[in-house]
Chain A
């Protein structure tokens, strides 16, 4: 490593912070344009859905445990359980499927 590790770290941090900071500070006013407002309303759903599936299927040791964990989390989410409950039940099911059922 001929470059300075600390310099790398600060370059990475600086770039990442600017990406996060600029829109938050530049857009201070309430947006009134209906199209942009609607777009921003749908953004979280598109973003989070695209991030979750299919990546969730490779998030554990086996696609079987991940698939079953996904199913259970989906049901718990459908029943409108809290974030923690949904996340924890997914984890528990994965644990059970992998360690007790050995799948």
Chain B
């Protein structure tokens, strides 16, 4: 059983791996420009596994910012992961103990979270390990090659791969939107909200990480208040998806 969960995770993580490769390749190049060694860049990728946080961190390292500033920036850029962790705490098989939870926590990223919640049933930690292993593999390999090659990926390839992760998100949120009107509303309103945050004065000054947190708290909060979910309803949706 464990082996088949692991295998499923590895398989479902392939699109993440591809998308990560393109992003981390760019990260590796920038890291090199900022004066990091290959080892340091790879270490940064393997210990952090977060694109916005790592790019933000690079800038701070380059200007020699204080550690306090580094801590605050990471919190601002990455706090959305805690919201995802809350959600995953319920998605993870309840028999998964502390040890498993400590390991699964290492790999809470936007994409791994997205794929995990797209599963109908509760997930085994071994499924998470599969997702994490293949995703981090793409992330670290991309970083390494980005540093050592010192050249950008051919523009045609990096541009095409750039859309991969968003395509994956659509594959997660659109099918349930077809059968569940509330989910459909949540998706559309969240997109409109995100557009407003990217164009309106003041709102557009807010970092991407906080934009996601604010929109999620408000929209999921209101949806939960107006349309509470009962068990059968939830299962119906999950099966339809």
**A residues bordering B, Cβ < 8 Å?**
1-3, 5-13, 15-17, 19-31, 34-56, 59-61, 65-66, 69-70, 73-74, 76-78, 80-92, 94-95, 98-99
Contact residues in B for A92 (Cβ distance below 8 Å): 160
Q: Which of B71-94 contact A (CB under 8 A)?
A: 71, 74-75, 78-90, 92, 94
CA distance A90 to B163 in the complex (A): 7
Q: B67, B82, B220 — which one has the most chain A CB atoms within 10 A of its CB?
A: B220
Contact of B169 among A27, A48, A76 (CB under 8 A): A48
Task: Name the distance in Å between B179's Cβ and chain A's nearest Cβ.
Answer: 10
- Pairwise interchain contact A77-B50, C-beta atoms closer than 8 A: no
Task: Name the distance in Å between A44's Cβ and chain B's nearest Cβ.
Answer: 4
Contact residues in A for B98 (Cβ distance below 8 Å): 25, 28
CA distance A82 to B117 in the complex (A): 14
CA distance A46 to B197 in the complex (A): 14
Task: Name the distance in Å between A42's Cβ and chain B's nearest Cβ.
Answer: 4
Interface membership of B211, Cβ < 8 A: yes
CA distance A59 to B166 in the complex (A): 9
Contact residues in B for A37 (Cβ distance below 8 Å): 90, 229
**B residues bordering A, Cβ < 8 Å?**
12, 14-15, 18-19, 35-36, 40, 43-44, 47-50, 53-54, 57, 60-62, 64, 67, 70-71, 74-75, 78-90, 92, 94, 98, 101-102, 104-106, 108, 110, 113-115, 117-118, 155-157, 159-178, 182-183, 186-188, 190-191, 193-195, 198, 208, 211-212, 215-216, 219-221, 223-225, 227-230, 234
Contact of A70 among B36, B70, B163 (CB under 8 A): B163
Contact residues in A for B161 (Cβ distance below 8 Å): 91
Task: Name the distance in Å between A27's Cβ and chain B's nearest Cβ.
Answer: 4
Contact of B83 among A41, A43, A65 (CB under 8 A): A43
CA distance A29 to B92 in the complex (A): 11
- Pairwise interchain contact A49-B48, C-beta atoms closer than 8 A: no
- Pairwise interchain contact B78-A87, C-beta atoms closer than 8 A: no
CA distance A92 to B221 in the complex (A): 37
